[in-house]
Amino acid sequence: MNKQRGNPPISRNKLLAIAGLGWMFDAMDVGILSFIIAALAIEWSLSPEQMGWIGSVNSIGMAVGAVFFGLVADKIGRKNVFMITLLLFTLASGASALAGGLAVFLILRFFVGMGLGGELPVASTLVAESVPAEERGRVVVLLESFWAIGWILAALIAYFVIPDYGWRWALALTALPAFYAIYLRIKLPDSPRYEKVEKVKRTVWQNVRDLWKPEYRRRTFMLWILWFTVVFSYYGMFLWLPSVMVIKGFSLIKTFEYVLIMTLAQLPGYFTAAWLIERVGRKFVLITYLLGTAASAGVFGMSETLTMLMVSGMLLSFFNLGAWGALYAYSPEQYPTVIRATGSGMAAGVGRIGGILGPLLVGSMVAANYGIGSIFGIFCVAIIVGVAAVAFFGTETKQTELQDTM
């Protein structure tokens, strides 16, 4: 590989720590939002439809950010986009703590979403391109495991800060990662694979067209379906999780406590997926963990007792986030370096359309007095569609070397 320009090569563990902390900040912001929606519903007297829009406008921004910054990352590098997006979502999140009404809050959440949507696929691409094939999947899943840490921090902030100090202070705490972006700018090298092919001149539209060339068409089709169904179900279920607990009759403080416990189950979900992904492959982990997600969602939606809600909620966290880890490991492996960020970003962008529709669907169905069991049943069906896409159209990429050029 060519020598890095400006920064020396970085060890795998240090790269994982630096990229993982950025990932953790992303998760903290998304996690905080799920708790804030429940708090804002009370403070601003929001309707279920308005609550749904808070989650969906975040996903609209994520869709735009994933596509735009994915395209840009193949032009100016993974590292530069990683830091631009980190600053964007952090500063917009901190500013949203000052919002005086729903309209301003929604505008700022759009920019938060842009940063989040752009950072996640680019960060996973950077890590995937920087580690050997035999440990690439495991390292990317471990990167995704920082998401659980961010959610746990969000749940802790929600539990200890929101009841006593309000949601504004909770959001203000999410602005702290802006200082971390300065550290990233100094310490983080770009992908060695990107550095090697950087001088190859390609247009953005050429990169987009090449996703549908015969050798990549099947992979692109599969990824778009998979991303849509996973993001649709995840944001529909998890952004509404605290609110669903309130609907089921629990107090706001108790809800935060229960969701924190459920969130802890995400960590073993990631770690088991990381252990399995290099032993049995990406397809097995994706299919198994998504089927576990579908089953857990069905039980959670129908549960009436606290015990069943807690057990099914923990299993939902375990399986769903393990599947997310495999998804982020699998996506960059579908394309060569010259279009990798474009392919991953566009797949994530299509997925974010599902993230727009999921929370809106829940809000409209709750307003129409549909039961939680019926709502979560829709997410079960969506996940099964994603499983079918992987099973019939997916190609196993375990420990295969990444391509650099077309």
Q: Provide the CATH number for the domain around residue 263.
A: 1.20.1250.20
Q: Would 404 be classed as within a structural domain?
A: no
- Asked if the structure places residue 205 within a domain, the reply is no
Structural domain boundaries enclosing 187: 12-192+211-393
pLDDT score, position 347: 94
Q: How many domains does the chain have?
A: 1
Task: Establish if 399 belongs to a structural domain.
Answer: no
Average pLDDT of adjacent 10-residue blocks, the chain of 406 residues:
49 82 81 82 84 81 90 87 85 87 92 89 86 87 87 84 86 75 71 71 84 94 96 85 77 76 87 92 96 94 85 92 92 91 92 86 85 89 96 90 75
Query: Given this model, what pLDDT does residue 334 score?
Result: 94
> In the prediction, which pLDDT does 6 show?
46
Q: Are 248 and 372 in contact (CB under 8 A)?
A: yes
Q: What is the pLDDT of residues 179-223, one digit of tens each?
A: 776 676 667 788 888 877 754 577 888 889 999 999 999 999 999
Q: Is residue 280 part of a domain?
A: yes
Contact 288, 325 (CB under 8 A): no
Q: What is the pLDDT, as a whole number, of residue 268?
A: 92
Torsion, CA 355, CA 361, CA 367, CA 373, rounded to 10: -100
Domain assignment present for residue 67? The answer is: yes
CA dihedral of 302, 317, 174, 127, whole degrees rounded to 10: -150
Q: What is the pLDDT of residue 8?
A: 55
Q: Is residue 5 part of a domain?
A: no
Position 2 scores a pLDDT of 41
Residue 400 lies in a domain: no
pTM: 0.82
- d(C-alpha 325, C-alpha 16), whole Å: 14
Let me know if residue 139 belongs to a domain: yes
